[in-house]
Amino acid sequence: MLATLAPFLTTLATDGGGAAAEPAGLLPARQQMALSLGWHIVLACFGVALPTIIAVVHWRGAFRGDQGALLLAKRWGKVSAVLFAIGAVSGTVLGFEMGLLWPGLMGTFGDVVGLAFAFEGLSFFVEAIFIGMYLYTWGRIDPRRQFWMLVPMAVSGISGTFFILSVNAWMNAPVGFDIVDGEIVNIDPWAVFTKDQVWMQFLHMWLAAFMVAGFAVAAVYAVGMLRGRRDRHHRLGFMVPFAFATVAALMQPFVGHLLGLRVAEMQPAKLAAFELALETESPSPLRLGGIVVDGEVVGSIDVPVLGSVIARNSFTEPVQGLDTIPPEDQPPVNVVHLAFQTMIGIGSLFVLVVLAFWGARWRGRDLLENRWFLRAVVACAPLSVVALQAGWIATEVGRQPWVVYGVMRTTEAAGDNSGLWWLLGATTIVYTAMTVGAVLVLRSMARRWRAGEEDLPSPYRPEPGDAEAEPAGAVSA
């Protein structure tokens, strides 16, 4: 649903750039990438963060004898089985797409960034093995031993995020090769991992994963409490993911700020678009909202000096204006600016929400009794996904027209296969169906759990309790 926002926005985005001699495969490839990446990134968040969140409740259950917590771990494990499955296949789609959509990129730079993908694949391997073990050892081995299967999953979530973000960081700040007479030479595949940029981007995304997964799980139990199910099960189910989301939401502004400071030096055009700076002003204002129409900023609220303070850590340093950048090197300004500020706005809202909760708790008030607070947390779940998508749109569209910043334009990476439109159509249908399927299955899981069915029996035959079912003897197994 929300992922479909991304291709729509990139459509807008592509209108802004120079329309000179685009290969036929460019526009469909962009849409395809936006759709499949936008969809996968949501599941990736669960793949990265959920094992850690589950580990906490499993630990309580296994080592502290908290049966309620162990039950949560078991249920969240089953949910993650569904989410990991569709995450695994949608991740595979991306693997294929790197070659299918961007032959110019992979053919030219495949060996420069290859190691990062290789290590990411390794991380995924570890996670896939241990999730298989974790899910299928319930009731077969001691929960205390089972706990240790979550640890490699949590670690591989970290390493996987790091390695995949190192590819994106490389696209923003390419290293590890020289270009001599148009040839890529002196390739150093390890350089990709050594830049500070990688660490900052990794941290930003890792925290984002905990915000998305944390708020999503907490929201489920907030809905339960809003419907009057106020038992310990719901409180614990709310508190653990909410605590994770809290830490992530409070750290994120600092990481984001540090990352933003780097943009000024690395990609001035992107920063100019973030800040809607058409001209260099010293000090620069902070432009809230607004769009560019015919070369003029319309409808923004300008706060003097604050732009310099936030983007440059200075009262005087300006944000370099777009007018200093050749038109053919400018990103589509409006989309980048609005996406960027959407992310920041939602992130700030999260800080308020979590501070309100813990502040009230410190003063002895329990906001879980407050329906408006619960509603706010429920809203945080979709908002966190919007912020996630907005952040990716801001950084990806903001890097345009480059796919590898300063080295390769996106037009050079695309192929000339106009048949990719068919692929986009088919993908839209399949991903919609997968979304519907996942929602259907997860909802029925929750419904059956509420009805007291814990083991979710095999659905391949009429249920034993069914009126129309044959006598039990007719069914073997």
Rounded CA gap, 9 and 18, in Å?
Answer: 17
Q: Which residues pair with 8 in a beta bridge?
A: none
Q: Is 438 in the site for other proteins (CB under 8 A)?
A: yes
Q: Is the dihedral of CA 32, 37, 43, 44 positive or negative?
A: positive
Using the rule CB under 8 A, which residue among 5, 115, 220, 393 binds other proteins? Answer: 115
- 424 and 32 in contact (C-beta within 8 Å)? yes
**According to CB under 8 A, which residues from 450 to 469 bind other proteins?**
455-456, 458-463
Number of residues that bind other proteins (CB under 8 A): 83
Hey, is 183 helix, strand or coil?
strand
Nearest approach in angstroms of CB 111 to other proteins is: 3
Nearest approach in angstroms of CB 195 to other proteins is: 16
Q: Is 180 in the site for other proteins (CB under 8 A)?
A: no
Structure tokens that stand for 418 in this block:
């106009």
In the complex with other proteins, the residue whose CB is nearer, 40 or 270, is 40
Q: Is 441 in the site for other proteins (CB under 8 A)?
A: yes
Nearest approach in angstroms of CB 138 to other proteins is: 6
- Give Cβ neighbours of residue 224 (< 8 Å, ≥ 6 apart): 234, 237
In the complex with other proteins, the residue whose CB is nearer, 121 or 283, is 121
Structure tokens that stand for 131 in this block:
């999730």
Nearest approach in angstroms of CB 471 to other proteins is: 11
Using the rule CB under 8 A, which residue among 2, 133, 258, 356 binds other proteins? Answer: 133
| Burial 363-373, CB ≥16 within 10 A → b, else e | eeeebbeeeeb
Write the DSSP symbol of residue 281: B
- 434 and 91 in contact (C-beta within 8 Å)? no
Task: Draw the binding track, 187-226, toward other proteins (x: CB under 8 A; -: no contact).
Answer: xxxx------------------------------------
Using the rule CB under 8 A, which residue among 39, 59, 76, 124 binds other proteins? Answer: 124
In the complex with other proteins, the residue whose CB is nearer, 177 or 274, is 177
Rounded CA gap, 413 and 303, in Å?
Answer: 40
Using the rule CB under 8 A, which residue among 118, 151, 301, 355 binds other proteins? Answer: 118
- Give Cβ neighbours of residue 395 (< 8 Å, ≥ 6 apart): 168, 172, 270
**According to CB under 8 A, which residues from 149 to 178 bind other proteins?**
152
In the complex with other proteins, the residue whose CB is nearer, 370 or 417, is 417
Nearest approach in angstroms of CB 429 to other proteins is: 10
**According to CB under 8 A, which residues from 83 to 102 bind other proteins?**
84-86, 88-93, 95-96, 98-100
Q: Amino acid letter at 154?
A: A
Piece in contact with other proteins (CB under 8 A), picked from 79-87, 250-258, 304-312, 360-368: 79-87
Q: Is 135 in the site for other proteins (CB under 8 A)?
A: yes
Radius of gyration of the chain (CA): 24
Burial class (CB in 10 A: 0-12, 13-18, 19+), 405: middle
Piece in contact with other proteins (CB under 8 A), picked from 210-218, 347-355, 381-389, 442-450: 442-450
Using the rule CB under 8 A, which residue among 130, 162, 357, 402 binds other proteins? Answer: 130
- 32 and 420 in contact (C-beta within 8 Å)? yes
Q: Which residues pair with 178 in a beta bridge?
A: 185
Using the rule CB under 8 A, which residue among 81, 250, 251, 291 binds other proteins? Answer: 81
Q: Is 179 in the site for other proteins (CB under 8 A)?
A: no
Which whole-number Å values give the CA distances from 66 to 58, 136, 355, in the listed order? 9, 21, 28
Q: Is 136 in the site for other proteins (CB under 8 A)?
A: yes
Q: Is 132 in the site for other proteins (CB under 8 A)?
A: yes
Piece in contact with other proteins (CB under 8 A), picked from 185-193, 350-358, 394-402, 404-412: 185-193
**According to CB under 8 A, which residues from 260 to 299 bind other proteins?**
none
- 24 and 417 in contact (C-beta within 8 Å)? yes
> Phi-psi bin for 164: left (phi > 0), alpha (psi -120 to 50), beta?
alpha
**According to CB under 8 A, which residues from 407 to 426 bind other proteins?**
415, 417, 419, 423, 426
Nearest approach in angstroms of CB 192 to other proteins is: 10
- 53 and 240 in contact (C-beta within 8 Å)? yes
Q: Is 139 in the site for other proteins (CB under 8 A)?
A: yes
Helices (H), 64-195: 67-101, 103-136, 143-172, 191-194
Residue with tokens 């036929």: 24
In the complex with other proteins, the residue whose CB is nearer, 108 or 341, is 108
Nearest approach in angstroms of CB 23 to other proteins is: 13
Cis-peptide, bond into residue 457, ω within 30° of zero: no
In the complex with other proteins, the residue whose CB is nearer, 111 or 281, is 111
